Copies of this chain bind each other. A is one copy, B any other.
Amino acid sequence: MDREVTLADVARLAGVSPATASRALGGHPHVAAGTRERVRRIADELSYVVSPDASRLAGGRTGRVAVVVPHLSRWYFGALLEGLEEVLREAGLDVLLYRVGDAADRQHFFRRLPARRKVDAVVALAFPVDEAERARLEEMGVEIVAAGGQVASHPYVSIDDVAAGRQAVDHLVHLGHRRIGMIEAVDPEQRAHQPEGRSRAYRLALADAGIPVEPELVATVEWGADEGAEGMARLLGLREPPTAVYAHSDEVALGAVRTLRRAGLRVPGDVSVIGIDDHPLAALTDLSTVRQPVREQGARAGRMVAATLSGGEAGEGVLLPTQLVIRGSTGPPGDAR
């Protein structure tokens, strides 16, 4: 079993001291250009890689980043993670995965992790980080980047939820719908006060169209397809049901569609349905939606992390564009084609 290649090996081969070798590799100043080159070349030839453990112990970087995510089995989070992981891996950073669901998890996470200085940065995936938590991490010298959700005063990459929601609702309005319902999903595991752009978009769009907002047309459910189905049932129970429904996400919309079919109603003949995300199954089920670039958000967040850790600037927040995708689940009202 061949021994590990150490810094000392590289230094010896390059004819310098370990101290200089370390500086050369770390890109520190006060190292002659020639020396730096030589050390780097030797290191490369030996395919030397610093030991994260030793480095970290001695006060350096760990080469690891924590990724915090509330769910793993939902497509959205998986795709986000996939984009992120790829970039991070290519940047030579290891990904430490933490699923943090409820409040207890959160508390535990924020108390434990930074104290052990296991990572150089944390990426919060669709995961609101509050001010106190942010301060805690900052204090410990850990960088933060958010993807799929904004963190006040921190680099993030996300979509404009309000704009996305408006694309969806405006589409329904343009089709001529006046009685538009919303199935609003809340995540029970997340803190309640999430500023819900998608819901706000609904009210804004209706207001702009001069349509009064009727509270009974808003069904609030927990996130999920079954819950979406239930929300739709609620809407169907109204004296005057909506002719179109805007769902918080595609999974919720898919649930709504099922309820409609079971009720013998045609989509979009009797009721139009639109979601948000462009989940792979949306294409399959011919669901109109607003596409957001999920993998891309993860990848961008990854690049931001890599950039800050290599000394550069992460840049400020980025909002990626969304795009209305019209499929077969939306049409003019009363169009019993």
Query: Does A82 count as interface, using CB distance less than 8 angstroms?
Result: yes
A304 to chain B, nearest CB (A): 19
Segment of A35-43, A70-78, A156-164, A165-173 engaged in the interface with chain B: A70-78
A229 to B284, CA, bound (A): 9
Query: Does A107 count as interface, using CB distance less than 8 angstroms?
Result: no
Q: Are A51 and B284 interface neighbours, CB within 8 A?
A: no
Chain B residues with CB below 8 A from A97, complex form: 67, 81, 85, 95-97
Query: Does A254 count as interface, using CB distance less than 8 angstroms?
Result: yes
Query: Does A139 count as interface, using CB distance less than 8 angstroms?
Result: yes
Known A-B contacts A118-B94, A258-B285; the reply to A72 vs B67 at CB < 8 A is no
Chain B residues with CB below 8 A from A75, complex form: 73, 75, 78
Segment of A52-60, A142-150, A263-271, A313-321 engaged in the interface with chain B: A52-60
Question: Within the complex, which residue of B62, B140, B255 is in contact with A284, where a contact is CB–CB below 8 Å?
Answer: B255
Closest to A4 in B: B115
Chain B residues with CB below 8 A from A110, complex form: none
Closest to A109 in B: B89
Chain A residues touching B, range: 35 or more
A49 to B108, CA, bound (A): 14
A189 to chain B, nearest CB (A): 13
Question: Within the complex, which residue of B4, B89, B99, B226 is in contact with A86, where a contact is CB–CB below 8 Å?
Answer: B99
Closest to A53 in B: B53
Closest to A76 in B: B73
Which residues 198-243 in A have Cβ within 8 Å of B in the complex? Answer: 225-226, 229
Query: Does A281 count as interface, using CB distance less than 8 angstroms?
Result: yes
Chain B residues with CB below 8 A from A226, complex form: 283-284
Contact with B along A1-35 (1 / 0, CB 8 A): 10010000000000000000000000000000000
A122 to chain B, nearest CB (A): 13
Closest to A101 in B: B86
Chain B residues with CB below 8 A from A64, complex form: 96
- Which residues of A line the B interface, CB within 8 A? 1, 4, 49, 51-54, 56-57, 62, 64, 67, 71-75, 77-79, 81-82, 85-86, 89, 94-99, 112, 115-118, 139-140, 225-226, 229, 254-255, 258, 280-281, 283-286, 295
25 interchain pairs, CB-CB under 8 A: A4-B115, A4-B116, A4-B117, A51-B116, A52-B116, A52-B118, A53-B53, A53-B54, A53-B56, A53-B57, A57-B57, A72-B78, A72-B79, A72-B81, A72-B82, A73-B75, A73-B82, A75-B75, A77-B78, A85-B98, A96-B97, A97-B97, A226-B283, A254-B281, A285-B285
